[in-house]
Amino acid sequence: MTHVTLRSEFETLIDPYAPVAQVGTGFDFTEGPIWHPVDHYLLFSDMPGDVRRRWDARRGVAEVKRPSNKCNGMTYDAELNLIVCEHATSSLIRERPDGRREVLASHFQGQELNSPNDVCVHSSGAIYFSDPWYGRMPVYGVERPRQLGFQGVYRVMPGGEPKLVVDRNLFDQPNGLCFSPDEKLLYVNDTMLALIRVFDVNGDGSLSNARVFASGISSELEPGLPDGMKCDQHGNVWVTAPGGVWVYSPRGELLGKVRGPELVANLAWGGPDFRTLYLTSTHSVYAVPTKVGPRHEPYMSGKRGSGGASAGSASAAPILADGEMRLDPS
């Protein structure tokens, strides 16, 4: 499969003939990929199937949680606790390695959140997440009335309540979000409006100076809209779009397009050197080698907190077997 070069800089990021390898298939709708930097496996969601799975090169695909509360976006905090957006509970959750579960956000001003969708972590420990209402739709969530009359973006400080950080009327369906490498900018896309907005991140964590970074991320010829989004180490923005993933320079120039065989919903870098781009693509997960890696996220240092094993541990995530959770004997 040939990728699309629109500016020469694109070929410094990925080989235009980079193979797109299928690492797993047969799923309902895959989302939320995240790579564990110590144990070297990929976690991903299957919302309609209400299951969370993992993949690694040695064992392939295995289930780790069913039901999963129709989880969507996932990431890790600096201590490698899993941060999960749950559609079925309208909650943002922290799952610790020993199984403890903590609700980080479920309500705003006394009303249930719509359905946290995607999430990213600032080096300060603050967690930012988007809250469209896809999780209140059938198939991708649990159909039920909305309590909030808007779709926002929130920040949660350690031990705090969610704080709305954008104008409540700014977004139709806010979705993917990511920081620039220096964390001075936060990008947030809007699926229904087919655009990306960028904000300045202030010293207190608030956002200001909202402006459109890229628009027209749609096509009448093939399906695909802004959904998952990540920033690479040079500040380029990689966003799901028609035909696969579109790559924008920090100046908002469209550099090229990574082509995929299925509709891509989200993406994340992984592999031992974080030079493999994993694409959750409807019924399958794909891996594409790249010449560039992601912006350095707090979790990528691979340091576990007191609730987990040491950073050098080779312990694996629990695997579902015979209907019960157990530790992989390997």
Mean per-residue pLDDT, 313-322:
36
Shortest CA distance to 28 belongs to which of 47, 7, 11? 47
HSE-CB at 242 with a 13 A cutoff on CA atoms is 11
HSE-CB at 206 with a 13 A cutoff on CA atoms is 4
Residue 52: inside a domain, yes or no?
yes
Rounded-to-integer distance, Cα 126 and Cα 282, Å: 30
pLDDT digits (tens, 9 = 90+) for 185-204: 999 999 999 999 999 999 99
Residue 120: inside a domain, yes or no?
yes
Shortest CA distance to 316 belongs to which of 46, 101, 58, 31? 58
| Structure confidence at residue 301 as a pLDDT band (50, 70, 90) | confident
Sequence-ordered list of residues with C-beta below 8 angstroms from that of 104, at least 6 positions apart, any chain? 83, 91, 92, 93, 94, 127, 156, 162
Question: Is 50 exceeded by the pLDDT of residue 106?
Answer: yes
pLDDT digits (tens, 9 = 90+) for 135-175: 999 999 999 999 999 999 999 999 899 999 999 999 999 99
Mean per-residue pLDDT, 15-30:
97
Mean per-residue pLDDT, 105-133:
98
The residue that leads in pLDDT, 78 or 302, is 78
When divided into structural domains, the chain yields a total of 1
| Structure confidence at residue 1 as a pLDDT band (50, 70, 90) | low
Per-residue tokens: 110: 């006394």
| Structure confidence at residue 321 as a pLDDT band (50, 70, 90) | very low
Question: Is 70 exceeded by the pLDDT of residue 305?
Answer: no
Sequence-ordered list of residues with C-beta below 8 angstroms from that of 168, at least 6 positions apart, any chain? 150, 152
Residue 326: inside a domain, yes or no?
no
Pairing of strands 237-241, 244-248: antiparallel
Residue 123: inside a domain, yes or no?
yes
Sequence-ordered list of residues with C-beta below 8 angstroms from that of 19, at least 6 positions apart, any chain? 1, 288, 289
Residue 234: inside a domain, yes or no?
yes
Task: Report pLDDT for 311.
Answer: 36
Shortest CA distance to 71 belongs to which of 92, 89, 85? 85
Q: Supply the pTM of this predicted model.
A: 0.92
Question: Is 60 exceeded by the pLDDT of residue 317?
Answer: no
Identify the CATH number of the domain in which residue 217 sits: 2.120.10.30
Residue 285: inside a domain, yes or no?
yes
Mean per-residue pLDDT, 231-250:
98
Range of the domain at 13: 4-312
Residue 324: inside a domain, yes or no?
no
Q: State percent of the chain over pLDDT 90.
A: 89
Residue 187: inside a domain, yes or no?
yes
Per-residue tokens: 326: 């157990």
